[in-house]
Amino acid sequence: MTSTDLQQWTRVRDRLRAEVGDDVYSSWFARMELEGSEGDTVKLSVPTRFLKSWIQSHYAERVLACWQAEECGFSRIELTVRSSIARIHGTIGKAPEILAPPRERDVRSKCADLRLPNGPIAGLHESLGGSPLDPRLTFDTFVIGRCNTLAHAAAKQVVIARRDEPVMFNPLYIHAGVGLGKTHLLQSLAWAGNASPDRKLLYLTAERFMYGFVSALRAQNALAFKEAVRSIDVLIIDDLQFLQGKSTQAEFCHTLNALIDAGRQVVIAADRPPSDLESLEERVRSRLAGGLVVEMGSLGEELRLEILRSRTAAAKLQHPGFDVPPPVLAFIAKTVTHNGRDLEGALNRLLAHSKLTGNPITLEMAEREIRDLIRPQEPKRIKIEDIQRIVARQYNVSRADLLSSRRTANVVRPRQVAMYLAKALTLRSLPEIGRRFGGRDHTTVLHAVRKIESLVSTDNTLADEIELLKRQLQE
Ligand code: ADP
Ligand code: MG
């Protein structure tokens, strides 16, 4: 290779970077190297077969055009996969950046002779051990509804993808609030994927990634790292929002790039979209957003009910006496609106209660048990004042009107709606609600609640208004 070749190569790279942008460049071309030239052919290499085929199918012409802009007479590009072993031994000082960040090199030279009983790679595998999986969290127990159809389908797709097929979307990034089934879905994926012996799926919480994976990598050399990465077909990282620290992030970014470049699937869950992961660097965020980003919404009432049913059925297998009447399930599905974790908690409460007291589960008992269970975890405490304010605004009356003893129709209905909402959305008792509505009797409140309940089933306009009010209050 002549020095002219090298100078031209530097300019070609700069040109390419300017054309495709930093992100694309660092994803696909950062590790492309010039091997030499022969006649009209310039020879380039990349470290993985996946990179090779990707560049060939997406960027071959562009790369050639960059060379031709140098007027160097090349009309062909030959792209090869360079052997990792030769590379690492031959150029240890400039091992691929992505795999061996500078800070790691010192560690690596110290550890170069480290030999674990089964050799460094087996040792690394051991230390790569994923986070424990909960046997209950499988696809069989995962209930599908409108809020999670897409995420579920994407996870299934990852499971059925074959090892040698190009990855459809990478990374797969799933985000949702607490208790909406991220961990359940990810663990289902890990169970299902690992059922086939020729694939290895590794499930790690971000915490485990920080304290286990990264340090295991640091203690190994770049070759072992590559081997380890190659041995993982799917890396699953849960709760990415907990990933902290600059160096951990750098390691994460290297791992992410290495896996994606090697054509390995990466699946990530977090409680917010990539753009809101404020502690992550912009380039990591954009890499995360570059695959498929799917949101899972709140569990709708039907889905909650379905989850409760399946949970109860499972519990019944172990505790045959455990019987939850359908109205109780419906009540829990309705009132425990927050998330799957609360649903589970509510059922556990009932189970404990029925085991300890031997009493059958009734609506009354459930109401009592569940209230005191969900009270401290309510995501947003809706205040009676807020209900009064929002209802008054909606119906164009004043809050004082709602509390007054006026009985004109334009005040009576909003007042009843407000009382009904107070009962439905807060944990206040009927007498307490009565007191807060200008010192009314609890029977008045009960009457209002029943009245609205019966109207809602026939009057669609009112039903819509109430839905709207609820949404405004819950936001
Ligand atoms: P996240 O990780 O999003 O905080 P989890 O996956 O831990 O939520 O879910 C919380 C609880 O709700 C678990 O018990 C889980 O099994 C249950 N759950 C959530 N979504 C579903 C679903 N679609 N089907 C069945 N169970 C679910
Ligand atoms: Mg979780």
3-state secondary structure 253-284: HHHHHHHHHCCCEEEEEECCCHHHCCCCCHHH
pLDDT at 205: 85
Question: Which of 143, 174, 184 has the most ligand 1 atoms within 8 A of CB, as the residue to mutate?
Answer: 184
Q: What is the predicted pLDDT for the residue at 128?
A: 59
Which ligand neighbours the alpha carbon of 271 most closely?
1
* C-alpha distances out from residue 442 to 362, 384, 417, 433, 448, Å: 23, 15, 15, 7, 10
Residue located nearest, by CA, to atom 17 of ligand 1: 340
Atom of ligand 1 nearest to the CA of 178: 4
Q: Quick one: average pLDDT of 137-148?
A: 93
Evaluate whether 69 touches 19 at the Cβ level (below 8 Å). no
pLDDT at 226: 62
pLDDT at 109 over 70: no
What's the gap in Å between 182 CA and the centre of ligand 1?
7
State what percent of residues in the chain have pLDDT above 70: 82
- In this structure, which residue's CA is closest to atom 5 in ligand 1? 181
**pLDDT tens across 348-386, in order?**
889 988 888 888 899 888 888 887 656 444 456 788 999
- 3-class secondary-structure state, position 79: strand
Q: Which residues contact 223 (CB under 8 A, 6 or more apart)?
A: 84, 85, 88
Report residue 380 as tokens: 């947003």
163-177 pLDDT, tens per residue? 778 888 999 999 998
Q: Which atom of ligand 1 lies at the shortest distance from residue 176's CA?
A: 3
Using a 6 Å CB cutoff, which residues line ligand 1? 137, 141-143, 148, 176, 178-184, 307, 340-341, 344
Highest mean pLDDT among 84-93, 150-159, 239-248: 150-159
Alpha helices per DSSP H over 202-337: 206-208, 214-218, 222-231, 246-261, 282-289, 301-318, 326-335
Structural contact between residues 378 and 345, judged by C-beta atoms closer than 8 angstroms: no
- pLDDT over 70 at 106, yes or no: no
SS3 374: helix
**Atom 21, ligand 1: residue with shortest CA distance:** 181
For residue 12, what pLDDT is reported? 92
Of 190 and 96, more confident = 190
For residue 472, report the distance from its CA to the centre of ligand 1, in Å. 25
Characterize the bridge pairing of strands 41-46 and 33-38. Answer: antiparallel
Q: Which ligand is nearest to the CA of 138?
A: 1
How far is the centre of ligand 2, averaged over its atoms, from the C-alpha of 86 (Å)?
42
